[in-house]
Structure 1
Amino acid sequence: MKNPNDGFFKGRLRSVKFALKGMWLLLTTEDSIKVQSSIALLVTLMGFYFSISITEWMIQFLVIGLVLVAEALNTAIEKVADFIHPDYHEKIGFIKDIAAGAPAFAAFFSLIIAGIIYIPKIIAIF
C-alpha cells in the first residue's frame, strides 16, 4: 500500500522491497517456478558450456524471463480465483485453465528457441 509520507525515492525502494518479496515467495512456495528456475539454471550452464553468442544469450534470457513471468502471472490469477471462490466453480475453472495456458505457450516456444540454439551445437559434437 502506498504511504502518503513516502517521497519518490523512498516509495520506489518500498516497491522494490515488495517485488523482491514476491519473487522470494514464488521461488520458495511454487513448484512450477522452482521447476522453471531449475531449467533456467541448466540452460544457463549449457550456454557457458557451448559458448553461445551474445545474441543467443539475449534471446535465451528473454525467453527465460518470459516463462517465469507467465508462471508468476498464472500463479497470481489462480490465487485470486481461489480467494474469490474457494470451492469448485465451472467459470473459475475456465479462467484458471486459460491462465495456465499462458506459461504453456511460453514454455512451448522456449523449447523451440532452445532447439534452434542448442541442437546445431550438440550435433557438432557428434
Structure 2
Amino acid sequence: MPMDLKDKQTEKNKHFIASLEFAVQGIKTVFREERNMRTHIFMGVLAIIMGFIFRLAITEWLWLLLVIFLVLVMEIINTVFENVVDMVTDFHFHPIGKKIKDMAAGAVLLTTFFAVVVGVLLFVPKIWQLIQDFL
C-alpha cells in the first residue's frame, strides 16, 4: 500500500511530537464530549484555588494534586471503556457490556470518594480554624 494512503493514526507513533499531539487531542475529546470530565476539572480547579487561599503545605499540595489527577485519569479510562463497549456492541445492549461500563463508572466513583475524603481532611480543619478566628 502506498505511504500516502495509510492512515497515520493506525501506524506506530515514531515521533514524540506526533504522540503528544494525539494525546492532547484525546484530552480535548474527552473534555468536549463528557460532561462529568468538565465537572471534575471545575471541581479540581476550585480545589486548587482553595489550596492557594488556605496556603497548603507541600505535602498537602501533593495529596490534593494526586487525587485531582487520579479522578481525571479514571474519568478518561471510564470514557475509553464506554467507547470500546459501544464500538464492539454497535450501541446495542449487552449484559457483559453493561457490567464493564458499570465497573468502570464504579472506579470513577471510588476515586471521587477518595478525593472528597482528602479534600475534607485538608480543608475542613482550615475552614473550622477560620470560623474560630472570626468568632
Report the TM-score when normalising by structure 2. 0.85
The alignment-based identity, stated in percent, is 33
Is 1:65 the counterpart of 2:74? The answer is no
Tell me the CA shift for residue 3 of structure 1.
5.3
Tell me the CA shift for residue 23 of structure 1.
0.7
Tell me the CA shift for residue 49 of structure 1.
0.7
Tell me the CA shift for residue 30 of structure 1.
0.7
- Secondary structure of residue in 1 paired with 2:11: coil
Q: Specify whether residues 112 and 3 from structure 1 end up closer, same or farther in structure 2 by C-alpha distance, changes over 3 A only.
A: closer
* Aligned residue in 1 for 2:124: 119
The partner residue of 1:88 within 81, 90, 93 is: 93
The answer for unaligned runs of 5 or more in structure 2 is 1-9
Q: 2: distance between equivalents of 1:3 and 1:124?
A: 54
The partner residue of 1:100 within 100, 105, 130 is: 105
Q: What amino acid sits opposite 1:24 in the alignment? A: K
Q: 1: distance between equivalents of 2:31 and 2:75?
A: 11
Q: 2: distance between equivalents of 1:88 and 1:98?
A: 16
How many residues are paired up? 121
Q: 1: distance between equivalents of 2:99 and 2:59?
A: 38
- Secondary structure of residue in 2 paired with 1:56: helix
* Aligned residue in 1 for 2:60: 56
Q: 1: distance between equivalents of 2:80 and 2:12?
A: 24
The partner residue of 1:39 within 29, 43, 60 is: 43
1:9-37 C-alpha deviation (Å, 9 max, x unpaired): xx111111100000111111110100000
Report the TM-score when normalising by structure 1. 0.91
Tell me the CA shift for residue 88 of structure 1.
1.1
Q: What amino acid sits opposite 1:2 in the alignment? A: E
- Superposition RMSD on alpha carbons, in Å? 1.2
The answer for unaligned runs of 5 or more in structure 1 is none
**Larger Rg over CA atoms:** 2
